[in-house]
């Protein structure tokens, strides 16, 4: 019995040893068996040619030089807050040799809501034309808002044919806006067309191929008159109405204070309305700066009235005169600083 029990113990210790040492053995086995074998990665590769990527085509020869033509028909539903817009456009590919099969523009900074929104008008080996309606995202720059210029980007890429098969060339002769192109509230500042060779961080083994990307940018500028009358003029009116009380003497102190305090509420509401139309930003927009100037001006006007409570009556006339001649220029300086900084 004792002998059996001892044997059991040995077997038990051996089992414990095997169980605990198994991960170690497993690691050692893995270290010795995993050889950096490209075939074993599961991703097919090309041994010939410059690129190993499965999307490369070393047998294609010289890449097709594709001139990209672009006609922007319209832009609609532009929302600065969502950084989104819809665009209707024609895009053409014209090449010096037959293009690889199944070429179709892929949008990289937006999406096509429905397959029906891509209409193939021409599909020849050396000439292709599509009409596309799609949504795009383009980050706004609001530092100069409301005198801002925004850039609307349309980016198109060939994501299954690399630059070993197809190279894009922006075609200045065939890049235009439609005759009746119009964006309410905006004027077109510039249009830009460029091609880049895009490289993705590795998505799979040997993802070493560059992909051709076409980028169309439309620079749009807000009408200055619109900016003036929607932001600066109301801000000026708020400040001016608040300032009107400064010419009243101590006998009209209630009226004097009442000309500023409600304007502070009006300024906050007005600022809130502006902010509602914009996305949150990490910086101050031009509108924020002018509103900060307005807040400072309003506080200054209120302070000029509160001085009547803070100081003795013998100083009241002096406060009135100082307020009358110093506060308005200070308001003007604040407003200018808010507008120009």
Partner 1 sequence: MKIIPYLLILFSLFCKESEKLYETNVEITRKDVVVYDNDKKPMVMDLEINYKDCPGNQVEVIRGGKDFATCINSTGKSLGDKIHVDIKWEWSDSGYYKWTVVKVDSCERVIDPFDGVSFDLVEECEDYFVYGNQIGFVCKKIPTDSLIKSCPWFRKK
Considering only CA atoms, which of 89, 191, 93 is closest in space to residue 134?
Answer: 89
Residue 49 engages partner 1 in binding (rule: CB under 8 A): no
273 binds partner 1 (CB under 8 A): no
DSSP calls for 92-147: EEEESSPPPTT---EESSEE-S-GGGEEEEEE-SSEEEEEEEEEEE-----TTTTS
* Measured distance CA(121)–CA(84) in Å, rounded: 27
* List 59, 82, 96, 187, residue binding partner 1 (CB under 8 A): 187
Candidates 196, 266, 284, 307: give the one binding partner 1 (CB under 8 A).
196
Report the relative pairing of strands 110-111 and 127-137 from DSSP bridges: antiparallel
Q: Does 176 bind partner 1 (CB under 8 A)?
A: yes
Among 32, 33, 225, 276, binds partner 1 (CB under 8 A): 225
- The least distance separating partner 1 from the CB of residue 222, rounded to whole angstroms, comes to 13
- Which of 59, 96, 192, 254 lies at the binding interface for partner 1 (CB under 8 A)? 192
Cα–Cα separations (whole angstroms), residue 143 to 79, 105, 224: 17, 33, 15
Stretch in the footprint of partner 1 (CB under 8 A) among 53-61, 175-183, 274-282, 316-324: 175-183
Single out the residue of 116, 123, 115 nearest to residue 92, CA to CA. 123
Q: Is 195 in the site for partner 1 (CB under 8 A)?
A: yes
Vertex 321, ends 319 and 323: CA angle to 5°? 65
Query: Positive or negative CA dihedral for 108, 111, 115, 118?
Result: negative
Whether the bond into 146 is cis, omega within 30 of 0:
yes
| # binding residues, partner 1 (CB under 8 A) | 21
179 lies in the binding site for partner 1 (CB under 8 A):
yes
Residues 89/76, Cβ–Cβ less than 8 Å: no
Indicate the length of the chain as a whole number. 341
> Minimum distance from CB of 281 to partner 1 (Å)?
26
| Residue 237 C-beta: closest distance to partner 1, Å | 15
Residues 45, 112, 129, 170: which binds partner 1 (CB under 8 A)?
A: 170
Q: Is 183 one of the binding residues for partner 1 (CB under 8 A)? A: no
By beta-carbon proximity to partner 1, the closer residue of 247 and 306 is 247
Q: Which residues bind partner 1 (CB under 8 A)?
A: 170, 172, 175-176, 179-180, 187-196, 215, 219, 221, 223, 225
């Amino acid at each position: 019995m004792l002998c059996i029990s001892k044997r059991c113990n040995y077997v038990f210790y051996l089992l414990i040893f095997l169980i605990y040492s198994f991960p170690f053995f497993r690691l050692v086995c893995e270290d010795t068996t995993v050889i950096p074998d490209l075939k074993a990665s599961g991703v097919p590769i090309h041994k010939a040619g410059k690129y190993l990527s499965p999307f490369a085509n070393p047998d294609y020869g010289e890449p097709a030089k594709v001139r990209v033509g672009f006609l922007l028909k319209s832009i609609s539903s532009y929302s600065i807050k969502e950084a989104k817009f819809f665009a209707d456009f024609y895009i053409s590919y014209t090449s010096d040799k037959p293009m690889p099969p199944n070429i179709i523009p892929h949008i990289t900074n937006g999406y096509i809501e429905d397959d029906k929104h891509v209409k193939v008008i021409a599909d020849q080996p050396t000439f292709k034309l599509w009409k596309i309606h799609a949504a795009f995202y383009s980050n706004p720059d609001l530092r100069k808002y409301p005198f801002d210029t925004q850039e609307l980007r349309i980016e198109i890429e060939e994501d299954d044919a690399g630059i070993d098969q197809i190279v894009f060339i922006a075609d200045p002769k065939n890049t235009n806006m439609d005759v009746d192109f119009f964006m309410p509230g905006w004027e077109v500042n510039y249009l830009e067309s460029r091609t880049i060779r895009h490289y993705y961080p590795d998505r799979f083994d040997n993802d070493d191929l560059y992909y051709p990307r076409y980028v169309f940018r439309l620079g749009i500028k807000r009408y200055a008159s619109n900016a003036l009358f929607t932001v600066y003029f109301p801000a000026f009116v708020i400040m001016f109405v608040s300032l009107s009380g400064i010419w009243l003497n101590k006998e009209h102190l209630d009226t004097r204070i009442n000309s500023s305090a409600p304007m502070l509420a009006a300024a906050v509401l007005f600022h809130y309305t502006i902010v509602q139309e914009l996305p949150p930003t990490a910086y101050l927009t031009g509108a924020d700066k002018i509103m900060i100037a307005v807040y400072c001006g309003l506080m200054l006007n209120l302070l000029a009235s509160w001085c009547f409570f803070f100081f003795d009556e013998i100083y009241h006339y002096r406060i009135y005169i100082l307020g009358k001649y110093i506060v308005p220029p200070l308001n003007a300086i604040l407003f200018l600083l808010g507008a120009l900084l």
